[in-house]
C-alpha cells in the first residue's frame, strides 16, 4: 500500500468501498513530514535526518486521505483499510 494505490476500506456506515490514497497524516505535531512505503507509515526524524517507521504506540494517530469514487476526500484510519 502506497500513495496512489487503490484500496478497499470501511466507511462511516461500515460499507466496504474503494478509493485512491492521496496523502498520509497524523494528529501528532512531531509527525510533520510523512510518507507511506509498502503499507508502513514513516515520519521524518529531525534527530536522525531520515524517514523512520512510526512507533507502534503511535500508530493509532495515523490516518490516510482517500479520494472516493465520487471524487471527494475521506479521512480514514489505517485500521479501516481492508
3-state class of 12 per DSSP?
A: coil
Cα(20)–Cα(73) distance, integer angstroms: 9
% of the chain with per-residue pLDDT over 70: 100
In contact, 12 and 50? CB cutoff 8 Å:
no
DSSP state of 55: P
pTM higher than 0.85: yes
Cα(71)–Cα(66) distance, integer angstroms: 9
Which strands form 16-26's sheet, in the order they lie side by side?
6-10, 16-26, 62-68, 73-77
pLDDT in tens, 35-75: 999 999 999 999 999 999 999 999 999 999 999 999 999 99
Cell of 5: 494505490
Q: Where are the domains of the chain?
A: 6-80
Amino acid at each position: 500500500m502506497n500513495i496512489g494505490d487503490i484500496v478497499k476500506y470501511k466507511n462511516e456506515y461500515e460499507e466496504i468501498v474503494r478509493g485512491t490514497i492521496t496523502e498520509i497524516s497524523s494528529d501528532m505535531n512531531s509527525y510533520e513530514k510523512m510518507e507511506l512505503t509498502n503499507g508502513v507509515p514513516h515520519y521524518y526524524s529531525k534527530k536522525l535526518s531520515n524517514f523512520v517507521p512510526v512507533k507502534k504506540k503511535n500508530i493509532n494517530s495515523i490516518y490516510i486521505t482517500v479520494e472516493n469514487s465520487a471524487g471527494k476526500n475521506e479521512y480514514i484510519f489505517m485500521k479501516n483499510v481492508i
